[in-house]
Amino acid sequence: MTIQLPGVQIRLSRRQQAGWLLLAVTATAACSAPAAPASGDGTSIVIGAAWEPENLNPILGYAPNGASKIFDGLLDRDADLTLRPALAATLPTVSADGLTWTVDLRPGMQFSDGSPVTAEDVVFTYRSVVAPESQSPIAAEFEALETVRAVDTDTVEFRLSFAYQPWAQRMALGIVPRHALAGQDIATAEFNRKPIGTGPYQLVEWRAGERMTLRANRDYYRGAPEVTDVTVIFATDDNVRAQRMAAGDFDATALPPRLARSYEDRPGHQVITNRSADYRGMGLPWDLPITSTPQLRRAVNLAIDRQAMVDTILAGKGVPAATPISPAMTDWHDPTATFAFDRAEAGRLLDAAGWLPGPDGVRGKDGVRAELPVLYPGNDVLRKELAIAAASDLSAVGISARAESATFEQMLERRTTTAGVWGGGDPYDPDSAIYSLLHSRYADAGGYQNMGRYQNPAVDAALDTGRRTADTAERRVAYRSFQQAYVADPGWAFLVFLDHTYVLRDGWSGLQSQVEPHDHGLVHGPWWNLEQWTPVR
Looking from the CA of 144 toward its CB, the CA atoms found within 13 Å total: 27
- pLDDT exceeds 50 at position 4: no
What is the rounded CA–CA span in Å between residue 435 and residue 452? 14
The answer to whether residue 329 sits within a structural domain is yes
Last residue of a domain, one of 161, 189, 217: 189
Instruction: Say if residue 155 is in the same domain as residue 239.
Output: no
Instruction: Say if residue 157 is in the same domain as residue 253.
Output: no
Q: How confident is the model over 197-239, as pLDDT tens digits?
A: 999 999 999 999 999 999 999 999 999 999 999 999 999 999 9
Instruction: Say if residue 432 is in the same domain as residue 378.
Output: yes
Mean pLDDT, rounded, of the chain: 91
What is the rounded CA–CA span in Å between residue 79 and residue 92? 20
Q: Percent of the chain, pLDDT > 70?
A: 92
Instruction: Say if residue 298 is in the same domain as residue 440.
Output: yes
- Kindly give, in sequence order, each residue whose CB lies less than 8 Å from that of residue 514, ignoring residues fewer than 6 positions away: 77, 79, 80, 81, 274, 524, 528, 529
Query: Per-residue confidence at 66, pLDDT binned at 50, 70, 90?
Result: confident
Q: Are the beta carbons of 232 and 50 closer than 8 angstroms?
A: no
Last residue of a domain, one of 274, 306, 329: 274
Check residue 328 and report its DSSP letter: T
The answer to whether residue 69 sits within a structural domain is yes
Instruction: Say if residue 107 is in the same domain as residue 214.
Output: no
Instruction: Say if residue 104 is in the same domain as residue 15.
Output: no
Task: Indicate the angle between helix axes 430-438 and 457-468, nearest 10 degrees.
Answer: 150
- Kindly give, in sequence order, each residue whose CB lies less than 8 Å from that of residue 25, ignoring residues fewer than 6 positions away: none
The answer to whether residue 525 sits within a structural domain is no
- DSSP symbols for 331-390: TT--TT------HHHHHHHHHHTT-EE-TTS-EEETTEE-B--EEEETT-HHHHHHHHHH
- Kindly give, in sequence order, each residue whose CB lies less than 8 Å from that of residue 60, ignoring residues fewer than 6 positions away: 54, 134, 136, 137, 186, 187, 192
Q: Are the beta carbons of 172 and 502 closer than 8 angstroms?
A: no
Surface-to-core class of residue 537, CB atoms within 10 Å of its CB (0-12 exposed, 13-18 middle, 19+ buried): exposed
Q: Are the beta carbons of 45 and 231 closer than 8 angstroms?
A: yes
Instruction: Say if residue 24 is in the same domain as residue 80.
Output: no
In angstroms, the Cα distances linking 347 to 128, 158, 356, 399 are 51, 53, 9, 10
- pLDDT exceeds 80 at position 303: yes
The answer to whether residue 263 sits within a structural domain is yes
What is the rounded CA–CA span in Å between residue 202 and residue 214? 5
- Strand-pairing partners, residue 391, are none
Task: Return the CATH number at 486.
Answer: 3.10.105.10
* Range from 125-129, 236-240, 339-343, 476-480 carrying the lowest mean pLDDT: 236-240
| H or E segment to which residue 535 belongs | strand 534-535
Output 16 or 128, whichever has higher pLDDT.
Answer: 128
Q: What is the pLDDT of residue 28?
A: 35
The answer to whether residue 447 sits within a structural domain is yes
Q: How many domains does the chain have?
A: 3
Q: What is the pLDDT of residue 67?
A: 87
What is the rounded CA–CA span in Å between residue 324 and residue 333? 9
- Strand-pairing partners, residue 76, are 84
Instruction: Say if residue 218 is in the same domain as residue 185.
Output: no
Task: Return the CATH number at 222.
Answer: 3.40.190
Amino acid in the structure at residue 13: S
The answer to whether residue 469 sits within a structural domain is yes
Instruction: Say if residue 212 is in the same domain as residue 270.
Output: yes
Please state the rounded mean pLDDT for residues 498-510: 96
Instruction: Say if residue 43 is in the same domain as residue 62.
Output: no
- Kindly give, in sequence order, each residue whose CB lies less than 8 Å from that of residue 220, ignoring residues fewer than 6 positions away: 199, 200, 531
- DSSP symbols for 488-509: HS-SEEEEEEEPEEEEEES-EE
- pLDDT exceeds 50 at position 501: yes
Q: Are the beta carbons of 467 and 164 closer than 8 angstroms?
A: yes
Instruction: Say if residue 269 is in the same domain as residue 283.
Output: no
The torsion angle over the Cα atoms of residues 3, 6, 7 and 11, rounded to 10 degrees, is: -10
For residue 282, the Cα-to-chain-centroid distance in whole angstroms is 15
Q: How confident is the model over 434-478, as pLDDT tens digits?
A: 999 999 999 988 888 999 999 999 999 999 999 999 899 999 999
What is the rounded CA–CA span in Å between residue 511 and residue 534? 9
Q: How confident is the model over 48-58, as pLDDT tens digits?
A: 999 899 999 99
Q: What is the pLDDT of residue 8?
A: 36
E strands, 38-90, in order: 44-49, 75-77, 83-85
Q: What is the pLDDT of residue 379?
A: 84
* Range from 14-18, 81-85, 295-299, 306-310 carrying the lowest mean pLDDT: 14-18
**Parent domain of 336:** 279-498
Instruction: Say if residue 183 is in the same domain as residue 261.
Output: no
Q: What is the pLDDT of residue 519?
A: 78
Task: Return the CATH number at 116.
Answer: 3.90.76.10
The answer to whether residue 517 sits within a structural domain is no
What is the rounded CA–CA span in Å between residue 295 and residue 284? 13
Surface-to-core class of residue 318, CB atoms within 10 Å of its CB (0-12 exposed, 13-18 middle, 19+ buried): buried
- Strand-pairing partners, residue 215, are 202, 229
The answer to whether residue 324 sits within a structural domain is yes
